Amino acid sequence: MLLAREMVPVGVVSIESDQSGAHIMWEFSSSFPRYSSLLRQAWLICAWCWFSLGFAASLQAAEQASLPTHSPPLAHRAPVTLHFVTWKADHPKVWDEAIDRFEQAYPHIHIHREIAPHSSTAYHDLLAQKLKNQDRALDVFFMDVIWPAEFAAAGWALPLDTWFSLEARQQFLPATIEAGTYRGHIYGVPSRIDSGMLYYRADLLAKYGFAPPVTWQELVYQAKTIVAGERTEHPAIRGYSGQFKQYEGLVCDMLEFVGSNGGAFLTPDGRTAALSDPRTKQAIAFVRSHILPELATPAVLTYQEPESLAIFVQGKAVFHRNWPYAWGLANDPRHSKIAGRVGVTVLPHFPNGRSVAALGGWLYGISAYSRHPEEAWTFIEFMTSASMQKYFALRAALAPSRLALYRDPEILSANPQYRNLFPVFLTATPRPRTPVYPIISHILQRFFSRVLAFPDLDLDREAREAERQINRFLRLVESLS
């Protein structure tokens, strides 16, 4: 239940909650998701055909042709400092060099980075506060793929249609473009794509005669078998490490469990919560009955990506769920005790289900209040170019958002997992697309955190209560559409 007089930022709708009810302060339209779905389906078909036929050369040529050209910076141009809000990088030296490359190419533009918290939830709250305050010092920021509808509807993000042409957008994975689009306008340029995937100890699976698990039940069996066999020599090893702290990452992890059993957070039309669906509850019950108590330590309830990855690279977990970036760190002997002994595959599913990977990734956006939008676009265009995305793929194992790079021999040599995971990137599952997603996410986070941390709680009752809260906001959306 919301606290009295709590101000809840929900992007296009700002809701002031008190004992008498909720008061709508902004209006919006929810007509875009249907358009977005059709657009995504069309692009998925085109992208896959294009890729399968091997027209990499055509893609690369079109990619270069679609990029706007810039005259070399003139010595007399006035210096500009761009304020860039970003998260704490997993590969700080790689990002330092990337910024240096830009400033060498455009010496009149200096990038001042403000490092926000690693948690997507905490980062969102910091960025939203700056934008609500119309902070004119803010120029460029990263947006999680779930934020553009909120930021666009609130008037915080600048439309990029003038710079980011339709032809240029066609060079990117369609899901990443869809994520940055709201009501027919583009508000974000994809820096990379993320989707959930399963990392595993290839050496241990081979030692015990296992192939990578296809179902979650197989994963549990394999993990328990390997842990029992390794316990004498490695007493700290556990079966599974993931992200189960109360934050946005928990929603991603649970989407993958729930979706792989045929369940969902919302009904297909997006108008009603679906947490009481038997398939959804079965998946949640499996996590709290098997994954957490049998394969993990209680501390997993406090893990975000860095903590859960640290357990894996220290050799203390057989299986690990994470994003593509973890491949580079897990195989870097400077950071990992298991370098060269790591495998990666699609996430398992339940019997009669299918593998589901949460769509993740980050988009560059420009503040609607920026004094330097042209320079901000110059920075974004440079950082999302084919050459820089290749740089990040080779140096930080960040999965490119540009289609052509998945046929690049150097990238595939450094990241062989991309060969099998490219279809996953094409079909990654988004979280609910709605301008009120932030408040829905907070409700989901509380719900999942409670039922996982306290397995004696009545799951049916907790699901109904979370549904009631979510449906309240969804009804507000529908009433204004």
Q: What was the pLDDT predicted at 83?
A: 98
Q: List Cβ neighbours of 323 (8 Å cut-off, separation of 6 or more).
A: 194, 195, 196, 197, 305, 360
Q: What was the pLDDT predicted at 299?
A: 97
The pLDDT-based confidence of 17 (bands split at 50, 70, 90) is very low
**Span 197-356+434-481: which CATH code?**
3.40.190.10
State pLDDT tens for residues 142-177.
999 999 989 998 999 999 999 999 999 999 998 899
Q: What number is the average pLDDT over the span 267-272?
A: 90
For residue 158, the Cα-to-chain-centroid distance in whole angstroms is 21
Largest CA distance in the chain: 69
State pLDDT tens for residues 332-377.
999 999 999 999 999 999 999 999 999 999 999 999 999 999 999 9
The residues of the chain that CATH labels 3.40.190.10 are 32-194+360-427, 197-356+434-481
Q: What number is the average pLDDT over the span 406-411?
A: 96
Q: What was the pLDDT predicted at 233?
A: 95
The Cβ of residue 57 has, within 10 Å, a number of other Cβ atoms equal to 10
User: What does the alpha-carbon distance between residue 337 and residue 317 come to, in Å, rounded to a whole number?
Assistant: 12
Report which residue type is found at 157. Answer: A
Report residue 358 as tokens: 């949460």
User: What does the alpha-carbon distance between residue 381 and residue 383 come to, in Å, rounded to a whole number?
Assistant: 6
Query: Residue 362: is it exposed, middle or buried by C-beta count within 10 angstroms (0-12/13-18/19+)?
Result: buried
**Span 32-194+360-427: which CATH code?**
3.40.190.10
Helix (H) or strand (E) holding 101: helix 92-105
In angstroms, what CA-CA distances link 407 with 313, 402, 418, 423, 429? 29, 10, 10, 13, 23
Give the residue, 52 or 333, on which the prediction is more confident. Answer: 333
User: What does the alpha-carbon distance between residue 423 and residue 48 come to, in Å, rounded to a whole number?
Assistant: 8
Q: Choose among 126, 106, 129, 107: nearest CA to 116.
A: 126
Kindly tell me the sign of the dihedral angle through the C-alpha atoms of 230, 236, 238, 242: negative
